[in-house]
A and B are shown apart, each in its own frame.
Chain A
Amino acid sequence: MARYILKRLIQSIPVVFGITVLSFAIMKFAPGDPLANFIDPTISMEDIEASRAALGLNDPWYVQYAGWLSEVARGNLGYTYAGNHSIRALIAQRFPNTIILTLSAFVLSFAVGVPIGVMGAIRKNTRTDYGLTVFSLVGVSIPSFFFGLLVIYLFSILLGVFPSGGMVNMRARYTGFARTLDIAHHLILPAIVLSLSNIATVSRFTRSNMVDVLKEDYIRTARAKGLRRKAIIYKHAFRNALIPVITIFGLSIPFLFSGAYITESIFNWPGMGSLGIQAIQDREYGIVMALNLITASLVLLGNLTADVLYAVADPRIRH
């Protein structure tokens, strides 16, 4: 087990390297000086020139890359062009909000998607199954921004039951538990919008796994043993069908971060996504790159976790 995790860690080293190269390459393509925004804003003009030389802005790209990488490794993500704010501080401020949103959507995806998939599989080729299949297909087909607008139109404008955006009620200034409730109230719509297509993906995947597993020989064995239907479905079939669903854990992470860009900007959710959209409009490439790097690393970490979970869940890999 420990060896397996170690092997996966070693395998991901070149991927981490690749992620930094690609991040750097995109930044390099951007108009302007990729390293200019690393210079400490508090120093004088002469010092900036010295600093430029020290940072090696006239060096070939691979030297620049190495310099950039060592800065990033030390946690320096640079400064914004406008106002010279620390990018690290900006992101740190937004990071928890995005995590709250994506994590809620993540939980929702599996809490809703898995039961839907199981229901479809055990009622295969019935009206329920067809209904759920069409729902799933609509779920993956609807553009999330359109769904977001529809949801705001329906629940905020027509029914007025949920706020149309933001994370807290600015006027009420709740504290303590009331604040938590307020955030939850603001969270519901964006979390639904962000999770919808993931729910659909999870349910489709669960259904097809479950259908395959129900055809397995050991299910026939379980029936021959005279086990009741519930035991066959949940103990024998479901647990086997769930193992491959773990791979979707890993895949969901980049998917949800992507979705957060759109969802956050529609709902004015103060997270990394809306920061990224703002950064693009303001041409703050430093922020865009930092976000790329951070999310790609999180995705890698998520995939690693999924692989480990997979090994934990499946005795055939565990041993």
Chain B
Amino acid sequence: MKDVLRVENLTVEFKTEEGTFTAIEGVSFRLGEQRTLAIVGESGSGKSVTSLAIMQLLAENGRVTAGDIVLDGEHLLQLPPEQIQHRILGQQISMIFQEPMTALNPILTVGDQITEVLFEHQDISKRDARARAIDVLREVGIPSPEKRIKQYPHELSGGMRQRVMIAMGLVAQPKVMIADEPTTALDVTIEAQILDLLDTLKREFKTSILFVTHDLNVVADIADDVIVMYAGEIVERGSVLDVFEKPKHPYTRGLLEAMPTLSGTTGDLPTIPGVVPSIATRPAGCRFHNRCAFVHDRCRSESPAVHRVDEQDVRCHLFDPAITRESE
């Protein structure tokens, strides 16, 4: 299977008043054609930084210091900014955000905000652009799109606004669409509709989706593959089936145990004690060690390497083949 997006060893640093901090380190993954890859993690895990780094939308004080991002054979980090703006963003890779309330410009019409993507990247007449905008609004399930394109964001409901965002993301038929918590701000019923829609559109538009979320239920619903991030690193990677069936990393296991399900929400959910360490207070050794139930001495001093176990990759000393062999 062909990879549309390949991220290798991505490292991002932020400069602040208190010094320079590494937000994400050595992040690598591949996104296959027309697949959905979910990046899951708590806030502070670096999942959003990863997606913003791919889009080159990091805040002014953030910088990619190492790694490679390959989109359909092109090394994005080596392209000049004008090329990224002109040829890549919006056209080959697009992004939708968490808050459809604030992510749309309040004083431009829906139609204007969709067609400007086409005008920027393609040689297209006004009439054709308008027709395309109406088409794509219809595709994302907005009724009477001819009327809607003349409306302003505040005239639409939250779910409708997110559909407009999706329409904007898809109108230029990009190879990859990054969705950063696109349903977090929405009601549960609307959330299910939007997830369904994304799944359908992925096939229709032949797009791959990189789905960023903190919600494992959503991952189970929509993703083919999943990477679990913790404190700026990927701790586990595999197909959704494998990871949900046989989670390897203690953190992943904890997350899955803490996951509320429709069938069994009785009683207290087991939760992982503690919180994700902030960017400035990450512990030495394994970053998860002070919250881990399986912690041992080595975890406190030595950062674990990534090990291949079954079809999954795990960053944990428990799966070090050297130790496993010793104990056998």
A, B co-complexed: yes
A208 CB-CB contact with B under 8 Å = no
Interface band, chain B: 20 to 34
Candidates A221, A231, A239, A319; contact of B103 at CB < 8 Å: A221
B11 CB-CB contact with A under 8 Å = no
Q: Which residues of B contact A319 (CB under 8 A)?
A: 152, 154-155
Candidates B97, B104, B120; contact of A226 at CB < 8 Å: B120
Inter-chain contact A217/B89, CB cutoff 8 Å:
no
CB proximity of B249 to chain A, nearest CB, Å: 31
Q: How far is the CA of A222 from the CA of B114 in the complex (A)?
A: 11
CB proximity of B195 to chain A, nearest CB, Å: 21
B234 CB-CB contact with A under 8 Å = no
Inter-chain contact A228/B86, CB cutoff 8 Å:
yes
Q: Residue-by-residue, is B86-110 near A (CB-CB < 8 Å gives 1, otherwise 0)?
A: 1111110011010100111111100
Inter-chain contact A217/B103, CB cutoff 8 Å:
yes
Q: Known contacts being A231-B120, A314-B107, is A221 close to B152, with CB within 8 Å?
A: no
CB proximity of B86 to chain A, nearest CB, Å: 7
B116 CB-CB contact with A under 8 Å = yes
Q: Known contacts being A223-B89, A225-B168, A316-B152, is A240 close to B105, with CB within 8 Å?
A: yes
Q: Which residues in chain A, 218-262, are within 8 Å of chain B measured between CB atoms?
A: 218, 220-229, 231, 235-236, 239-240, 243
CB proximity of B126 to chain A, nearest CB, Å: 16
Q: Which residues of B contact A46 (CB under 8 A)?
A: none
Interface band, chain A: 20 to 34
Q: Which residues in chain B, 135-178, are within 8 Å of chain A measured between CB atoms?
A: 152, 154-155, 165, 168
A14 CB-CB contact with B under 8 Å = no
Q: Which residues of A contact B94 (CB under 8 A)?
A: 224-225
A32 CB-CB contact with B under 8 Å = no
Q: Known contacts being A217-B97, A316-B152, is A243 close to B107, with CB within 8 Å?
A: yes
Inter-chain contact A224/B90, CB cutoff 8 Å:
yes
A315 CB-CB contact with B under 8 Å = yes
Q: Which residue of A lies closest to B104 (CB)?
A: A218
Inter-chain contact B105/A221, CB cutoff 8 Å:
yes
Inter-chain contact A218/B103, CB cutoff 8 Å:
yes
CB proximity of A234 to chain B, nearest CB, Å: 12
CB proximity of B254 to chain A, nearest CB, Å: 32
B85 CB-CB contact with A under 8 Å = yes
Q: Which residues of A contact B87 (CB under 8 A)?
A: 226
B55 CB-CB contact with A under 8 Å = yes
B69 CB-CB contact with A under 8 Å = no
Inter-chain contact B120/A228, CB cutoff 8 Å:
yes
> Which residue, of A229, A315, A319, has the highest number of chain B Cβ atoms within 10 A?
A315
Inter-chain contact B107/A226, CB cutoff 8 Å:
no
Q: How far is the CA of A314 from the CA of B94 in the complex (A)?
A: 28
Q: How far is the CA of A316 from the CA of B86 in the complex (A)?
A: 31
Q: Which residues of B contact A314 (CB under 8 A)?
A: 106-107
Q: How far is the CA of A126 from the CA of B266 in the complex (A)?
A: 58
B209 CB-CB contact with A under 8 Å = no
Inter-chain contact A228/B85, CB cutoff 8 Å:
yes
Q: Known contacts being A216-B102, A217-B97, A220-B57, is A227 close to B120, with CB within 8 Å?
A: yes
B117 CB-CB contact with A under 8 Å = yes
Q: How far is the CA of A218 from the CA of B97 in the complex (A)?
A: 10
Inter-chain contact A221/B90, CB cutoff 8 Å:
no
Q: How far is the CA of A319 from the CA of B151 in the complex (A)?
A: 10
Inter-chain contact B85/A224, CB cutoff 8 Å:
no
Q: Which residue of A lies closest to B114 (CB)?
A: A225
Q: How far is the CA of A227 from the CA of B85 in the complex (A)?
A: 7
CB proximity of B124 to chain A, nearest CB, Å: 15
Inter-chain contact A226/B154, CB cutoff 8 Å:
no
Q: Which residues of A contact B308 (CB under 8 A)?
A: none
CB proximity of A239 to chain B, nearest CB, Å: 6
Inter-chain contact B106/A240, CB cutoff 8 Å:
yes
Q: Residue-by-residue, is B117-141 near A (CB-CB < 8 Å gives 1, otherwise 0)?
A: 1001100000000000000000000
Q: Known contacts being A315-B107, A315-B152, A319-B155, is A225 close to B116, with CB within 8 Å?
A: yes
Inter-chain contact A226/B106, CB cutoff 8 Å:
no
Inter-chain contact A222/B154, CB cutoff 8 Å:
no
CB proximity of A18 to chain B, nearest CB, Å: 34
CB proximity of A47 to chain B, nearest CB, Å: 64
Q: Residue-by-residue, is A262-278 near B (CB-CB < 8 Å gives 1, otherwise 0)?
A: 00000000000000000
Q: How far is the CA of A226 from the CA of B120 in the complex (A)?
A: 8
Inter-chain contact B88/A226, CB cutoff 8 Å:
yes
Q: How far is the CA of A228 from the CA of B117 in the complex (A)?
A: 10
Q: How far is the CA of A271 from the CA of B248 in the complex (A)?
A: 85
Q: Residue-by-residue, is A204-221 near B (CB-CB < 8 Å gives 1, otherwise 0)?
A: 000000000000111011
Q: How far is the CA of A314 from the CA of B153 in the complex (A)?
A: 12
Inter-chain contact B97/A221, CB cutoff 8 Å:
yes
Q: Which residues of A contact B97 (CB under 8 A)?
A: 217, 220-221, 224
CB proximity of A36 to chain B, nearest CB, Å: 55
Q: Which residues in chain B, 5-22, are within 8 Å of chain A measured between CB atoms?
A: none
Inter-chain contact A316/B90, CB cutoff 8 Å:
no
Q: Known contacts being A217-B99, A218-B105, is A224 close to B155, with CB within 8 Å?
A: no
CB proximity of B270 to chain A, nearest CB, Å: 35
CB proximity of A233 to chain B, nearest CB, Å: 13
Q: How far is the CA of A221 from the CA of B91 in the complex (A)?
A: 13
Inter-chain contact A224/B55, CB cutoff 8 Å:
yes
**23 CB < 8 A contacts A-B:** A218-B105, A218-B106, A220-B103, A221-B165, A221-B168, A224-B55, A224-B94, A224-B95, A225-B117, A226-B85, A226-B89, A226-B117, A227-B117, A240-B105, A240-B106, A313-B107, A314-B106, A314-B107, A315-B106, A316-B106, A316-B107, A316-B154, A319-B155
- 5 further interface pairs, Cβ-Cβ under 8 Å (given A218-B102, A221-B105, A316-B107): A224-B89, A240-B106, A243-B107, A315-B107, A315-B154
By Cβ-Cβ distance, the 4 closest A-B pairs, closest first, are A226-B89, A226-B90, A217-B102, A225-B90
Interfacial residues, chain B to chain A (CB-CB below 8 A): 55, 57, 84-91, 94-95, 97, 99, 102-108, 116-117, 120-121, 152, 154-155, 165, 168
